[in-house]
């Protein structure tokens, strides 16, 4: 009996000259919980190295080579995905979307990923960034970068287009069932609360881009809120004009200023006339 008999073999055609030769078999699933590692595989680019990184950590803590541990982990991941298709898919979506959620908090990355701005610019940006990420991810996983770039561009553009379409549907539905102003933030302008956009309060460029997109696409709630803001600002200006000239109603600040100057001129003329009369009166008495 040969020592090769202890290993599994793959039969070859009898006319090839080889009866059989040994091959390495994948390890059987161990039943260990690898759900976190499986979900980490969904991270763009770096997810490709999750099993290898986990194999190295297991080598440090439990022994065995990194390659052996990686092979065991990959076998456990395959078994986990087969036994729990729904849970593994949910985990992939939850973990895989984390980098995009974090990037959305910053104006620059959000714009590059097509998360802000008008659809005409956001969709091409999403397609371009999706293609770059898809190519890099495919390359890291040993797959075809061209196919990864095409898939990334398609899903990036489709995601932004679908998100904006759903946003319009959501705004319309919310306007039907919820009776509240679109922009609840206010600023005190000359004692009058003026409704303003959220970006005026937060200073967030991404929020400002989304608001501009809503106004550009004539979302009803946003358009009405903009009208409310303009009306309130006009009223605040009128209040200021009345405060500058409380004796009149409906005058502008320029008119109020001119009226004040006229009053000062009249007072100065009266004072000068009185002074001239006084001097003349003194002169006459001296002559007498």
Q: How far apart are CA 80 and CA 191, in angstroms?
A: 64
Task: Tell me the pLDDT tens digit for each residue of 116-152.
Answer: 777 788 888 889 998 999 999 999 999 999 999 999 9
Higher pLDDT, 90 or 188: 90
User: Between 83 and 119, whose confidence is greater?
Assistant: 83
Residue 110 binned pLDDT confidence (cut-offs 50, 70, 90): confident
Confidence category of residue 279, pLDDT binned at 50, 70, 90: low
In Å, how far from its chain's centre is CA 122?
12
pLDDT of residue 180: 43
pLDDT of residue 138: 92
CA pair distance 155, 130, nearest whole angstrom? 7
Mean of pLDDT values over 12-41: 71
pTM: 0.50
Is residue 251 scored above 50 in pLDDT? Answer: yes
Instruction: Report pLDDT for 213.
Output: 76
Which of residues 138 and 20 earns the better pLDDT score? 138
CA atoms of 268 and 275, how far apart (whole Å): 11
Return the pLDDT at 81: 93
Q: Please give the angle made by the CA atoms of 201, 202 and 206, to the nearest 5 degrees.
A: 125
The pLDDT value given to residue 22: 53
């Amino acid at each position: 009996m040969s020592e090769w008999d202890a290993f599994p073999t793959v039969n070859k055609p009898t006319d090839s000259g080889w009866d059989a030769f040994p091959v390495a078999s994948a390890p059987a699933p161990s039943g260990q919980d690898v759900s976190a590692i499986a979900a980490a595989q969904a991270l763009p680019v770096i997810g490709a190295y999750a099993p290898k990184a986990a194999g190295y950590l297991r080598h440090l803590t439990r022994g065995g080579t990194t390659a052996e541990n990686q092979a065991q982990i990959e076998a456990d991941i395959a078994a986990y995905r087969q036994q729990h298709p729904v849970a593994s898919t949910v985990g992939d979506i939850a973990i895989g979307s984390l980098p995009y959620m974090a990037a959305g908090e910053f104006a620059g990355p959000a714009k590059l990923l097509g998360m802000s701005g008008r659809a005409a610019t956001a969709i091409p940006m999403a397609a371009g960034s999706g293609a770059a990420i898809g190519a890099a991810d495919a390359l890291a996983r040993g797959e075809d970068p061209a196919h990864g770039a095409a898939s990334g561009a398609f899903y990036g553009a489709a995601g932004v287009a679908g998100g904006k379409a759903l946003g319009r549907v959501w705004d319309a539905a919310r306007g039907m069932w919820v009776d509240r102003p679109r922009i609840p933030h206010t600023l005190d302008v000359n004692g009058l609360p003026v409704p303003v956009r959220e970006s005026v309060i937060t200073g967030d460029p991404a929020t400002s881009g989304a608001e501009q997109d809503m106004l550009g696409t004539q979302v009803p709630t946003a358009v009405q809120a903009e009208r409310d803001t303009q009306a309130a600002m006009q009223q605040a200006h009128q209040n200021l004009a009345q405060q500058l000239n409380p004796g009149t109603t409906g005058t502008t600040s320029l008119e109020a200023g001119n009226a004040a100057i006229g009053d000062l001129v009249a007072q100065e003329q009266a004072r000068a006339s009185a002074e001239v009369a006084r001097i003349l009166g003194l002169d006459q008495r001296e002559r007498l």
